[in-house]
Structures are given as structure tokens and as C-alpha cells.
Amino acid sequence: MTDKQSLTPSPVSSDAESGVRSRLAGFWLKYGNWGALALVFLLASIFSPRDLSTGQNVFLKPDNLIDILRQISEGGILAVGMTLVVLLAGIDLSVGSVLALGATLSAVLLLNHHWPAWAVFIVVLMTGAAAGFLNGAVSVWGRVQPFVVTLAAMTIFRGAARLLTDGNALPLESFGHGPGQVDPVFGILAERVDGIIPVPVIILLVVVAVCHIWMSRTAIGRHVYAIGGNRKAAVLSGLPVRRVIIIMYCVCSLLACLAGMIHAAQFQQASPASDGQGYELTAIAATVIGGASLFGGQGTVVGALAGALIMGIIDNFLGIHNVTEHWRLVIQGLIILAAVLLQRGRDEE
């Protein structure tokens, strides 16, 4: 009898183990993405090749590190917007197409209609908000799954971008006030502060800071987490569930159009057929790797920034080693799968 009792786990020890697992899960949720970022950065530094002429570590070159930040600026902004809807247990597959729509509309207004940059900024951002309103409204009032709504919207917005130019790319090669030139203010989006820090990086950091404060310090931010955690309970509590969902989709698409303007300025052209292709995958990857749960209620926009940095470092490292684009896509998909499985295991603890 004594032997059998000794083999039976005591309630106290079970509670202690459960408490340890809970604390570990909480620690990973809060700091795991930054630990993963540090690990990826360390590995990329160690296994980076050396410059044959100078012997310098290629990955750690200041120009390369700054270029990583510049390259993730668009994807990082998309990831912030994606996080806002994922927190609600939603998804937005149309962000890449909305980016293309924002880039193309900017080029059309600047080049064909000679609008000033400030007016273009306002109209393009309003267009993004309208696109998000369509996604959110159909989802909540039409009671259609966000995956289906935004999958259809992905095609609609891509088609709208093509209609603006008959599918042709528009060059934005000359900034000025003469014929065939566009407002030079728009070109600021592609410049660098003091010749070092790219303006898109500053915009990304501002977006992250504003959205972080919004989500952590305001009532609507608390509503987002409550709705994502348990929508039925949020409805019974009297929270404005439909309004919050629509607002988050509006902000998500608005940020996609902001990324579209940055894209057009950096590449000095708008190509409705190819701009933003696959960017929704990158945004989802950064969001999940950053710690957001696809089931809603968990995650932060700061975590999305960490996820975007991880993806950017991995992509840059693979590029340094001349890994083809095909293999990069395979690796990116595997990373997403691994992050989801890790997240699933954490949620089951």
C-alpha cells in the first residue's frame, strides 16, 4: 500500500509543475521572440563569410545591417497591421494587393495628375482605410470568415490596381516640378537622415510606437485582447465587438497603403502586377514568429517588429550565401510551420 501511494503523484507536486510550466510559457510569450532574434543574429554573425578584399565579416558590415532595416520596413509595417487583426483571431490575406493599390494610386496621382505629395498621402491612406472597411464590414455583417473575405479582396484590390494603369508599370524616376516629374516631397520616403538612417525605418519605428501605445494604454486596445480571447464573452459584456473589428481592419489596410507609398518611392516605380506579391506571407510569418497567436488574444506589435527582424536577418543571411529565391520561400514556409507548432505546444501547456 505504501509503495502504491509513493508511485502516485501528489497534488502539490502536480500544482508546482503546472505553475512552473505556466511561468515558462509566460516568459516565452513575453521574451522568447527577442531571445530568438538574438540567437538568429548570433548565428548569422558566426557563419557569415568574410569579405575577400578586407577580411571583414560581411553580415556585420554597417551598410549591410542598415540595409536589413531598410528592407524590413515595408514588411514590418504590414506585420504591425496584421497583428492588429490576428489579435482578434482574424487574418488579412489582401495586404499585399492593398500595398500594390496604394503604390499604383500614388504613382497615378503624382505622375498623371500632378498632385502634390501631401494630397496623395491623404487620399491613398483614406483609400487604404476604405479597403479595410470593406474587409471588416463583410466579415462582421455578412458573417463570412475573414480568410474567405480577404482572399476574395486580394483579387479585387489587385485587379483595381491593374485597372488604374491598364496593367502597366509607372516609373517615378524624376522628382521635381517640371513636365514628367513628380513632387520631390514624395521622394523623401526613399531618402536617409544624415545619409545613414533610411526614412522608411523611422516610419516603421513610429508606427510600432504609436500602435504599441494604442494597444497597451487605451480602452480599444483592451477591447481587442478581450474580443480575441473570448468573443462570446466580449459580446455578453457589452463590448462594441463589430466596431472594434472594423476599425482594426481599417488600420491594417491603411498601414498597407502606407507601405505601398514607401514601396513606390524606394523602387521609383509602381508595378500593379508584381508589387506586394507574397507580402502577406511575410507579414503573417513575422506576426506568428513575433509571438501572436493565430487563435487571437495573444501578441504585441513590438513582437511583430522582432518577428520582422528575424525574417529579415534570415533572408539577408541566405542572400549572402547565394541561396536561390526558390529555397528562400521553402525555408520561409518551414519557419512559419515551426512557429505555429511551437505556439500550439505552448497553448496546450
- What sign does the CA torsion over 312, 318, 320, 324 have? negative
Q: Is the pLDDT of residue 3 over 60?
A: no
Buried b / exposed e over 228-256, threshold 16 CB at 10 Å, is bbebeebeeeebebeebbbbbbbbbbbbb
**CB atoms inside a 10 Å sphere around CB 335:** 17
Quick: pLDDT tens for 186-221.
Answer: 999 999 998 899 999 999 999 999 999 999 999 999
- What sign does the CA torsion over 14, 20, 23, 29 have? negative
Give the pairing of strands 170-171 and 269-270.
antiparallel
pTM of the model: 0.89
Please give the average per-residue pLDDT across 162-182, as a whole number: 86
Quick: pLDDT tens for 290-342.
Answer: 989 888 888 999 999 999 999 999 999 999 988 888 888 888 788 878 877 77
In the block, residue with C-alpha cell 513575453: 30
Q: Is the pLDDT of residue 348 over 60?
A: no
What pLDDT band is residue 28 in, cutting at 50, 70 and 90?
low
Q: Is the pLDDT of residue 262 over 90?
A: yes
> Residue ranges per domain, the chain?
58-344
Quick: pLDDT tens for 75-103.
Answer: 999 999 999 999 999 999 999 999 999 99
Angle at 271 between CA 263 and CA 201, to 5 degrees: 5
Q: Residue 216's closest CA among 207, 227, 204, 224?
A: 224
Indicate the length of the chain as a whole number: 349
